Amino acid sequence: MAARERKFAEEVKNHLTQDLIPFWEGMADRENGGYYGYMGYGLEVDKEYEKGCILNSRILWFFSNAYLMLGEGRLLEDAGHAYRFLKERCMDRQYGGVYWSVAYDGSLKDDAKHTYSQAFAIYALSSYYDASGDGEALALARELQLLVEEKCKDAQGYLEAFNRQFEPEENEKLSENGVMAERTMNTLLHVLEAYTELYRVSPDERTGKALRSLLDTFADKVYNRRLGRQEVFFDKDWNMLIDLYSYGHDIETSWLVDRALCVLQDAAYKERLLPITTELARNIYDRAYVGHSVLNEAECGVADATRVWWVQAEAVVGFLNAWQKLPEEMEWLFGAEDIWEFIKGHLIDRRDGSEWYWAVDAQGKPLEKPIVEPWKCPYHNGRMCMEVMRRMDCDT
């Protein structure tokens, strides 16, 4: 490994071990279980804020993979703390599935069932099974997968929003930009991600078939060949609802689909999808990589120059992934390193007791948004660190 690449990997590893892991360990609720659901911009923790089930699934995923990466026993204990809360408080033993949120004490808060929530629980439980060897976690992941396949699909693919009894509702939770979508690229991506992890730790024919179907949908329904991007929001018949270019999701998709192809090991799907993922990454590099960072999105051709934390984290991984596919094209590696420098200088909050800012504006000024809330967690930035370490062959 060249000296500059070694420096990159070591800096990221130090950030994971010295900053991110201690911060999220400090968010553990030892009285009521799980992890606290809110820290404001002023670094005040609201111990009675609701606990998002997606947040706690993502924290379970984070600590499970940190243990797999670093081998430190306390990290498996941190994951176990999240696992028990997810299993005992976030899962509905009467109707099945994972709730949207619970109150700070674990009592039910929002009993909506969303495909997105189920996907992240499958993702986390699969990783926890890999880390712990606990067969119950794998059984719960498979139980949720069966539920998604039976309750959350129609003839054209995955639907998203349901009440507690899995009766369809309007998709308010995953719709944005003034539209009400029945299907979203975002939810589809995370079902793919979840099934990839489940197939990795315990391959079976049903999951493999579902993965192939998801890849077909990305290629045939979501990917806009003319524009070289994914569409974001759809009606039930896969008609696009808005001219929206989600830069962060496109670069994230570019490597998550490649991960699915690697795990699936189907030559025909590799031949079909790899050109798409390469084009997605190339277009983000050419269209959205501006000022040492990646823009947020563009609606009707108007770019949003906000630099959002998760978009930068996913761009680092997406650019590294592209470099590994095309190692002679060094601009990918330089781009990943450049965005890491931006992250260090603008997004990592250097105040004691903090983590990353949610976002900075076009001038690099932090937006006064929460440090932790139901969507702000160690999933993107923690995963970025572990992916850099893994891909750069960092000595752990």
Helices (H), the chain: 3-15, 21-25, 53-70, 73-85, 115-132, 135-151, 185-201, 205-217, 247-264, 267-287, 309-325, 331-342, 379-391
pLDDT value, residue 2:
80
State the maximum Cα–Cα separation within the chain, in Å, rounded to a whole number: 56
pTM of the model: 0.97
Cα 395 from Cα 389, distance rounded (Å): 8
| pLDDT single digits (tens) 299-313 | 999 999 999 999 999
Q: Which position has the token pair 């929001």? A: 233
| Secondary structure element (H or E) that encloses residue 350, with its range | none
Asked if 38 contacts 49 with a C-beta cutoff of 8 angstroms, the reply is yes
| pLDDT single digits (tens) 86-126 | 999 999 999 999 999 999 999 999 999 999 999 999 999 99
| pLDDT single digits (tens) 326-361 | 999 999 999 999 999 999 999 999 999 999 999 999
Cα 188 from Cα 222, distance rounded (Å): 9
Question: Which among 349, 351, 352, 356 is positioned nearest to 380, based on CA atoms?
Answer: 356
| pLDDT single digits (tens) 140-187 | 999 999 999 999 999 999 999 999 999 999 999 999 999 999 999 999
Tokens (6 digits) for 183: 């299907």
Res 396 pLDDT > 50: no
pLDDT value, residue 395:
46
Tokens (6 digits) for 199: 């197939």
The DSSP line for 272-298 is: HHHHHHHHHHHHHHHHTEETTEE--EE
% of the chain residues with pLDDT over 90: 97
Q: Where in the chain are the domains?
A: 3-391
| pLDDT single digits (tens) 1-22 | 688 888 999 999 999 999 999 9
| pLDDT single digits (tens) 33-53 | 999 999 999 999 999 999 999
**3-391 has CATH 1.50.10.10 classification:** yes
Q: Which position has the token pair 């689909």? A: 257
